[in-house]
Chains A and B, each alone.
Chain A
Amino acid sequence: MLTSLKRTIGLGWQNMVRDGGIAVANIFIMMIPILLVSSIFLLKDISRYMIDALQAKADISVYFNENTTEDDILKVKQDITSIPQVNEVKYISKDQALLDFTERHKDSATLMESLSQVNGNPFLASLNIKAMGMSDYDQVASFLGQEQYKAMVNKVNYSEKKSVIEKIFFLTAGVSKTGLILAAILGFVSVLVTFNTIRMAILNRREEIAIQRLVGASHWFIRGQFFVEGLIFGLLAAIFCFLISSGISWYANSSLEALMPGLNLWNNYMAGIGTMFLLQFATGTILGTISSMIATTRYLKV
């Protein structure tokens, strides 16, 4: 048993080395699906960052009447925070709102002049609310429409922002869905390409398989060699892909960080390096061995 295993591995390795050109082609083709899986892993952080950034722009504000005290507003804040669908509530005082406006429009002379002509602070204190999902904003708006808040609340900008919020959530859901569909299609195509490349390589050796059958080699003795070959192809392809993905993560890190502040691709990659290697290793070996086994079966019927 052990001798047979040793011989099968030896023959598989020998076949691969002697058919060097085909081996290189197979390894390169197998790198396509592995790199695709790796890129999904790498792009996951980037797309998450983009989705978070977009969703962060979705919010509603509730403005309070001039006569509402800060304590009352903070009490409302507390009430809103207790709603499970609410993610974040930020209190912006009158003074803070003025400060923010001045800071934002300091370069606009017209706006600054208009502001100076208004007596005092024209801004109202407000609460900025971020909910978990799109449908949750409706619930928050209804909550603020309750009788107990009517005397305090001047305005809730939900109806104005509704279409923008809907667009943001539609876009982010689209990004995730499109990414998944695209990954599934590309994954399917690359598996098909890999399978067919290995099948073509084995087709070239159908005569060889027939000879091995005619001298009495069992199905598993022959299959084993191709299994080992497929395994080695997958392993080598996984190693190359691991080096490539590590290189890309390291190289692209500084450029991405400049584009997307707070995103550290290299740190994220290093945190999941074990998962990444296992993912590449599993994709390579499973694809290599299964493709070889299926492709060999056809020519064993001698």
Chain B
Amino acid sequence: MLPKSFQACQRKFGPVRYIKKASMIRFNNITKVYQVKAAGHKRVVALDGISFGVEKGEFVSVVGRSGAGKTTLFKLLLMEEKPTGGSVLYKNENIYKFKPKNINNLRRNVGAVFQDYKLLPNMTVTENIAYVMKVIGSSDAEIRRDIPKILEIVELEDRAQNFPAELSGGEAQRAAIARALIHRPEVVLADEPTGNLDPYHTLDILKLFLKINEMGTTVILASHNREIINKLKKRVVTLDQGKIVRDEAKGRFSL
């Protein structure tokens, strides 16, 4: 079905080719099925024919109960896993046809905050953040300049030289957020980024995500925190048992 405005155009000017605006990220009929060995190779459908797009500069919340498929969606976008069916397009290109170099570039363009933080255990907070900058080829001067700033934003200045094992859950989460944002990625993927934060830090981190989104960064946030989703007043994609049950602009958490 063509948009109403486009139909009006056609009536006025005759047949016109409709070019659908390309999404920055597009999930096309994505299916992911896991074979659970421990349960006698039982098939578990994590995602079942999901299709939706995310525009450049958009802020999208993906909500759903535990096991709804939010984390799987992120894993597919980061190419941590391959889908059973369907494709994921990044800037109109199927990421599963990427060459290794392009995979690295995709991951460098995406700042990811993982639910389990995924901080490098043998590196301090500063070194974890610096690692990403080293990967993208930032100079030592840039590393020295930017890291104190991001540590100040996430309030981890006094934990800069601590190892992940010495951090609380909330501190590790803020370190992971700092690492995801340090190189100003095009897209930020945040999987339950406030799951371990106290209300004070939750609000601050949300404000930070909104601010970077205002600056043009695309943000995709997965959460099952009703309060924060409703506070955001942004687009909400609701997943349930691997399917999209709602996709609303300025949506609310309504499961």
Q: Please, which residues of chain A bring their CB within 8 A of the CB of B107?
A: 213-216
Instruction: Assess whether A297 is interfacial by the CB under 8 Å rule.
Output: no
Of all chain B residues, the one with the shortest Cβ separation from A300 is: B100
Instruction: Assess whether B231 is interfacial by the CB under 8 Å rule.
Output: no
Among the 9-residue stretches B90-98, B114-122, B213-221, B244-252, the one with 4 or more Cβ atoms under 8 Å from chain A is B114-122
Instruction: Assess whether A7 is interfacial by the CB under 8 Å rule.
Output: yes
- Which A residues between 197 and 216 are near B, CB-CB below 8 angstroms? 208, 210-216
- Which A residues between 168 and 227 are near B, CB-CB below 8 angstroms? 208, 210-219, 221
Contact with A along B214-245 (1 / 0, CB 8 A): 00000000000000000000000000000000
Tell me whether A208 and B122 are in contact (CB under 8 A).
Answer: yes
20 contacting pairs across A/B (C-beta < 8 A):
A3-B140, A4-B137, A11-B134, A15-B122, A18-B122, A19-B122, A211-B118, A212-B135, A214-B80, A214-B107, A214-B112, A215-B107, A215-B131, A216-B106, A216-B107, A216-B136, A217-B104, A217-B135, A218-B101, A218-B104
Instruction: Assess whether B26 is interfacial by the CB under 8 Å rule.
Output: no
B interface, size bucket: 20 to 34
A113 to nearest B CB, angstroms? 87
Q: Please, which residues of chain A bring their CB within 8 A of the CB of B105?
A: 216
Contact with B along A248-288 (1 / 0, CB 8 A): 00000000000000000000000000000000000000000
Of all chain A residues, the one with the shortest Cβ separation from B75 is: A214
Tell me whether B104 and A216 are in contact (CB under 8 A).
Answer: yes
* B interface SS class: helix
A93 to nearest B CB, angstroms? 81
Q: Within the complex, which residue of B100, B120, B132 is in contact with A208, where a contact is CB–CB below 8 Å?
A: B120
Q: Please, which residues of chain A bring their CB within 8 A of the CB of B104?
A: 216-218
Q: Please, which residues of chain B bring their CB within 8 A of the CB of A11?
A: 134
**What is the interface of chain B, defined by CB distance below 8 A to chain A?**
78, 80, 100-101, 104-108, 112, 114, 118-123, 127, 131-132, 134-137, 139-140, 179
Q: Please, which residues of chain B bring their CB within 8 A of the CB of A211?
A: 118-120
Tell me whether B80 and A215 are in contact (CB under 8 A).
Answer: no
In whole angstroms, how far apart are the Cα atoms of A211 and B121 in the complex?
10
In whole angstroms, how far apart are the Cα atoms of A211 and B100 in the complex?
16
Q: Please, which residues of chain A bring their CB within 8 A of the CB of B106?
A: 216
Of all chain B residues, the one with the shortest Cβ separation from A217 is: B135
Tell me whether B135 and A216 are in contact (CB under 8 A).
Answer: yes
In whole angstroms, how far apart are the Cα atoms of A11 and B106 in the complex?
23
Instruction: Assess whether A302 is interfacial by the CB under 8 Å rule.
Output: yes
Contact with B along A1-34 (1 / 0, CB 8 A): 0011001000100110011000000000000000
Of all chain A residues, the one with the shortest Cβ separation from B112 is: A214
In whole angstroms, how far apart are the Cα atoms of A104 and B55 in the complex?
106
